[in-house]
Every structure is written in C-alpha cells, then in structure tokens.
Homo-oligomer: A and B are copies of this chain.
C-alpha cells in the first residue's frame, strides 16, 4: 500500500442526517435537529471520537418543494448556525465548529464580526463554510424579486471573502495592551482601517473585534461548479466535494490542485474532504438492509418527484414495482438521467426503490462493515483523491454512534486517524498554518487576544 497521511473527518450536521427519512428511523429522535440537548450530545460524541469538526449546513428559506413533500421535511425548523455553534462551543473543548453563511444575503462586517466572536469564544475553533446560496427562494426573503445570477454571486463572493479577511486583520495580534497604569487599552499603531471600496462593497472598518485566535477562521467551500472550483482554488482551506465516485473525486482533486498551482498557491494549504453518506453494519448485508429500510421510509410522492426530476420524465406513469423502463433522451439533466438509469441497472432496483433512493440520498455512499468502509476510505486517500471525509451519518443516534464507535477505531488501528487531538484549534487539527496579518505581518510567540474558553 502507498503511504497515506493521517486524514481528517468532519461531520455534516444539518439536518442531523442528510437522508430525508432520518427522523423516521426506529429508535431515533424525530426532533434531533432542533433539540439542543441532543445536538450537544452529538457534538460531544464526535469530539470523543476526535473528529476535526462539527459542520453545520444552512438554508435561508424553507426548501422550495411542493407542500406535500415539504410537510415531510425535518429541515423546515432548524437553528441558525451562528446561534447554535456558540452554544455548542461551551459544551465542547476541542472539536472545530464550522458554520455556513451566505455571501449573497449577508454583509461582510456582520460575518467578519460573528465568526471572529465565535473564534474567540471557542478558543480558535471556528470555520466558515462560504456559500453563495443555491435556493432561489432565499431572494424573496431578502427583498429581491430574483436570485442573483450564478456569475454575479461568485463575483460578489470573491470580494466578500477578501473584505472579511481584511476586517479580521484590523488589529495586530499584539494590539491589546490593557495597561491599567497608563490607561492605554490598545496601541493605535496596531490598528488598521480597511477602507475597502469595491464593485459590491464599501466597507471602512476597522472591525470592533480583536484578531481571531486562528488569525482567520478556516475557510470552507463546496467547490462544485466551475466558478465554485475557482473560488475554492483561490480561497478555500477545506473543500467538501460532491464527487460520486473515486474516479470523479480524483478528477476533482486534480482539477482544483491544478488551479491552485496555476495561481501559485501551495496545494498543501487545501484539505479535500468529500461528502460521504455512511451506513454501518456488523455485516455488509446488515448495512445494506439498513439502507433499504431507511430508503423505504421515504414517502412515495417525494420519491417519485425526485425520480421524475432526475429522469426529466414523469415517473408516476411507471409501474412502481416493475423495473425501470427504457427512457428516451430529453433536453434536461443528462447526467442525472444517466446516473439514475445506471444505478437501477447495477443494483436491480424497482422504480419505487430507485425513486426512494433518489428521494433519500443519492450522492456518494459507503455502506457496509467498518472494515469495508475503512477500505474504501483508504483507497480514496491512497489514490490522492482526498485528505479525509465529510461524513453524513445515516441516522441519529444509532448511525452516529456506529460510525464513531466502529469505523473510527478501525481507521485509528490503520494509523489513518488521530487517537488524540495534538492541538487546540481547528487549524491545528487540519494541519493548516495560521495566516499572517495582511497589514502587520507575522508576530511570533503571540497566541492572539483570546479570552479563556471554559465556562
């Protein structure tokens, strides 16, 4: 086997399971994504398993789906990530805390301030998942008739991230003297006023928060589209890709690392952690049965709608218990159509089973024993397709505890995953350097102006 560096694990936690039927799984907590006691327990379980980060997705509108599907969705009520994560910071000590926030519907000053505050409160554990927001309904919650175009959103995102970093650097790391004798609270020579004027934003600054413990909270992105990949190559430190297979993942990693090299960025400064839905069983058969049971809880109306979208054809006309008929080509969603057909043929699924699979979770999945899952993960890492994974558990608490209690120990036995945190910050967990201050440079030996974390 090739030499593989120890890798990283984040847990993608909203909804607590990505599968649309997670909340119906037997033995679970149907309100788990909106119940702080449960969320605190999950964060502590992930921390005990030495996960790099608890990663919270987000939406700025209820999902745009027909009411018949929406009424079955656990996503309609969930916490604002930047409200939940400060609370989770208090009940954990080491695990990173990554919140999603939109560059399309937020203001850089607010975002810089909130992540800086979270980073100080948590002792350097904050990460920002930079999104441009894909749900077009968000626009109508923020005074816009139409969601801005993709290119405009990414243009704005570039400038937004740069403004936020500039604001984080408002104070040198050693600005705060708090000299009781002289009455000088900070050294004015250590204060930088950004005075940014750009096409999307005019932001004077300075930020009224000390420089974050990590310098900058860790920048995370999905990096899916062309513009997204370019933004990620330029600014991301973690990517949770959506590659559907090892081959896809490898192509994606090469593409993004190539983009980084072309702009002179060291690829070591980026960790690729593909999103992976994990279903664990003591035997492969048990894991497959668990997945089938979970898929079987997806309501047929939602499932058929998902299949119809994937195929570009009304799947309600097909016999649900028969095999997928031949589907003529259509203009729409060629990739989705081909993937759905291939999946049905490969696993011998009926129309209903295929629909429920797509309506449950259709992305990269690893289903099997801890050993099988560890083998697959190791193969990805050995191939150079990733630096770890962003795990989406099948259900809570069982699926979460199976992953942390069975897969993680297997990864640890192989030397692929830490058995103890070596550092205290998310950057240290990920092996990412602390950025220099753009205006004041490096000041070694200074830990930043951080209040103690403990309560």
Given the contacts A62-B206, A188-B71, A38 and B84 also touching, CB distance less than 8 Å = no
Bitwise, A282-301 to B at CB < 8 A (1) or not (0) is 00000000000000010100
Could you say which residues of chain B place their CB within 8 Å of the CB of A113? Answer: 80
The answer to whether B90 touches A60, judged by C-beta atoms less than 8 angstroms apart, is no
Could you say which residues of chain B place their CB within 8 Å of the CB of A78? Answer: 208-209
Please measure, in the bound complex, the distance between the C-alpha atom of A40 and the C-alpha atom of B455, giving whole angstroms.
6
Q: A74 in the interface, Cβ–Cβ < 8 Å?
A: yes
Could you say which residues of chain B place their CB within 8 Å of the CB of A107? Answer: 105, 142-143
Could you say which residues of chain B place their CB within 8 Å of the CB of A188? Answer: 67, 70-71
Q: A398 in the interface, Cβ–Cβ < 8 Å?
A: no
The answer to whether B90 touches A87, judged by C-beta atoms less than 8 angstroms apart, is yes
Contact-size category for A: 35 or more
Q: A21 in the interface, Cβ–Cβ < 8 Å?
A: yes
The answer to whether B84 touches A176, judged by C-beta atoms less than 8 angstroms apart, is no
The answer to whether A35 touches B114, judged by C-beta atoms less than 8 angstroms apart, is no
Given the contacts A61-B208, A121-B84, A180-B24, A186 and B109 also touching, CB distance less than 8 Å = no
The answer to whether A82 touches B114, judged by C-beta atoms less than 8 angstroms apart, is yes
The answer to whether B451 touches A187, judged by C-beta atoms less than 8 angstroms apart, is no
One of B37, B106, B121, B208 near A454 (C-beta < 8 A): B37
Could you say which residues of chain B place their CB within 8 Å of the CB of A118? Answer: 83
Q: How many copies does the complex hold?
A: 2
Q: A132 in the interface, Cβ–Cβ < 8 Å?
A: no
Please measure, in the bound complex, the distance between the C-alpha atom of A141 and the C-alpha atom of B109, giving whole angstroms.
6
One of B71, B77, B145 near A210 (C-beta < 8 A): B77
Please measure, in the bound complex, the distance between the C-alpha atom of A232 and the C-alpha atom of B82, giving whole angstroms.
29
Given the contacts A36-B455, A109-B142, A141-B109, A79 and B121 also touching, CB distance less than 8 Å = yes
Q: A230 in the interface, Cβ–Cβ < 8 Å?
A: no
The answer to whether A37 touches B455, judged by C-beta atoms less than 8 angstroms apart, is yes
Stretch at the interface among A197-205, A369-377, A431-439: A197-205
One of B23, B77, B204 near A141 (C-beta < 8 A): B204
Given the contacts A141-B109, A208-B59, A82 and B82 also touching, CB distance less than 8 Å = yes
The answer to whether B24 touches A77, judged by C-beta atoms less than 8 angstroms apart, is no
Could you say which residues of chain B place their CB within 8 Å of the CB of A31? Answer: 176, 178, 451
The answer to whether A183 touches B142, judged by C-beta atoms less than 8 angstroms apart, is no
The answer to whether A71 touches B187, judged by C-beta atoms less than 8 angstroms apart, is yes
Interface core residue of A40, A121, A208 (most chain B CB under 10 Å)? A208
Interface core residue of A106, A185, A454 (most chain B CB under 10 Å)? A185
How distant is A118 from chain B, measured CB to nearest CB, in Å? 6
One of B70, B86, B91, B185 near A76 (C-beta < 8 A): B185
The answer to whether A185 touches B73, judged by C-beta atoms less than 8 angstroms apart, is yes
Instruction: Name A's B-contacting residues (CB within 8 A).
Output: 21, 23-24, 30-31, 34-38, 40, 59-62, 67, 70-80, 82-84, 86-87, 89-91, 105-107, 109-110, 113-114, 116-118, 120-121, 137, 140-145, 171, 176, 178, 180, 183-188, 191, 201-206, 208-210, 297, 299, 449, 451-455
